Structure 1
Amino acid sequence: MGLGMRLRAMFAGLGVLLAAVAVDALAATEVRGVRLWRAPDNTRLVFDLSGPVQHNVFTLTAPNRIVIDVNGAQLATQLEQLSLSNTPITSIRSAQRTPTDLRVVLDLSAAVDPKSFTLAPNQQYGHRLVVDLFDQSADTAPKVPATTTASVPQAPVTPTQPAVKLPAMPNAKRDIVIAIDAGHGGEDPGAIGPKGAREKDVVLAIAKELQRQINAEKGFRAELVRTGDYFIPLRKRTEIARKQGADLFVSVHADAAPRSSAFGASVFALSDRGATSETARWLADNENRSDLIGGAGSVTLDDKDRMLAGVLLDLSMTASLSSSLDVG
């Protein structure tokens, strides 16, 4: 092969390579679905993506709006199908700023504080962009439906009581407060049965029935941590229980089993290893160090040095573990 032919072959190969790079550059990630949930203090939007993206979220006023710029993405779904009732969102608009840059605008009825993050694929979902809109005022927060997607009405549940201030007198009689936490929720369905039953729905139904039975017992009052189909971070769940003045925190789950013949129930408490790591996380957070030991007591860690705080917190968690095992 002569020099000229070799040069032509080299440039032809380079041209094919550049063409392939150009095609990849134009192949934007698809927004294949958008899901929405309403929680007591926030609204969550989840964008299901075909691949990773870069994004930017900012607010506009007069009127209130949230702008979501998703770089390297194209819209491949309909936004009109979302139910916006009982949320601060009045409408959703979208446009392609460029062939590969998508802009989504949320028109709002009230100002919110947005937070956003991306999630890598897991067993149930692919890439996701999550946008949380936190209410700025509880007085203007919309009412929370049981779920924004359910088609079957759910049984009424005793409304969540306001934060409880426990009596100061040690011998004063009061109801024992039990916080019932239905696991998972929202975009986290938990285990999925062979016929499509979702753990998040099963445990919520169990939690509501358990609340009904507990409230029928004199001297006991049950509070639900999650009242509908929305997601609550794990640490937030215990915070909600604390605000409700809970004496006992019970988390309800329905685990998957490898065989359909499996039956029964299991009860467990936080392990020693889990308690140790949890203590370390608490002490690493100055805000948590000032929180109440044991949740509803009157002792704080504000005026304690690090070593003493660690000892007090470790004793408190050890006592909680022992009591939890007794109750279990």
Structure 2
Amino acid sequence: MKNLLMCALVLLALPAVAKTKVTDIQLMQTATYTRLVLNLDSPADHKLLTLNNPDRVVIDVTNAELDVDLSKIDKNGSPVRSIRSGIRDTNNLRIVFDLTSLARAHSFFLKKIEKGKMGYHLIVLVYPSHSR
């Protein structure tokens, strides 16, 4: 009976530890900024950093995994030179957008209903920084 109770508790805890999946990444260039859109299958906490030497935007997504082929993302016309990813601290996803020049960035989270399902989007606006 004790083992059965332990199994039930473990099964109940599984959804709480399920990783968020990044299911798509889109880059959209406007006249004044670049919009990075990360589509997620569930909400997630994140941290945003801009670094230089080399210039880059770094997004750390808590308890997440990548379900996107980064080589297929269209970067043409944007300041994004390359995109790479890795895992930090065992289960946190880091996505790095290498840039052609120094930038500043702002992020926000957006929830919306798409095709009858809730959609989760991490939006990052990347603005050129004209000072080094």
Question: What TM-score bracket applies, with the shorter chain setting the length?
Answer: 0.7 to 0.9
How far apart, in 2, do the equivalents of 1:61 and 1:112 lie?
A: 9
The answer (yes or no) to whether the contact 1:65–1:105 under 8 Å persists in 2 is yes
- 1:109 corresponding residue in structure 2: 100
1:45 partner amino acid:
L
1:129 counterpart = 2:122: yes
1:100 counterpart = 2:101: no
Is the radius of gyration larger for structure 1 or structure 2? 1
SS of 2:49's equivalent in the other structure is strand
2:122 partner amino acid:
L
Relative distance call for 1:22 and 1:123 in structure 2 (3 A) is: closer
2:99 partner amino acid:
L
Indicate the structure with greater strand content.
2
Q: How many angstroms does 1:35 deviate by?
A: 1.0
Q: Among 33, 37, 44, which residue is 2:28 paired with?
A: 37
Q: TM-score, normalised by structure 1?
A: 0.37
The answer (yes or no) to whether the contact 1:74–1:99 under 8 Å persists in 2 is no
SS of 2:77's equivalent in the other structure is coil
- 1:50 corresponding residue in structure 2: 41
How far apart, in 2, do the equivalents of 1:110 and 1:30 lie?
A: 29
- 2:57 corresponding residue in structure 1: 66
How far apart, in 2, do the equivalents of 1:43 and 1:13 lie?
A: 53
How far apart, in 1, do the equivalents of 2:89 and 2:8 lie?
A: 24
Q: CA RMSD in A?
A: 1.8
Aligned length: 128
The structure, 1 or 2, with the larger RCO (C-alpha pairs under 8 Å, 6+ apart) is 2
How far apart, in 2, do the equivalents of 1:75 and 1:99 lie?
A: 14
1:83 counterpart = 2:74: yes
> Which sections of structure 1, spanning at least 5 residues, go unmatched?
1-8, 138-328
Q: Which aligned runs of 4 or more in structure 1 are off by greater than 4 angstroms?
A: none
How far apart, in 1, do the equivalents of 2:103 and 2:113 lie?
A: 29
The answer (yes or no) to whether the contact 1:26–1:100 under 8 Å persists in 2 is no
> Which sections of structure 2, spanning at least 5 residues, go unmatched?
none
Q: TM-score, normalised by structure 2?
A: 0.87
Q: How many angstroms does 1:132 deviate by?
A: 0.8
Deviation per CA, 1:59-109, whole angstroms, max 9, x where unpaired?
A: 111111111000021101111111212211111000122453100011111
- 1:279 corresponding residue in structure 2: none
Give aligned-pair identity as a percent: 34
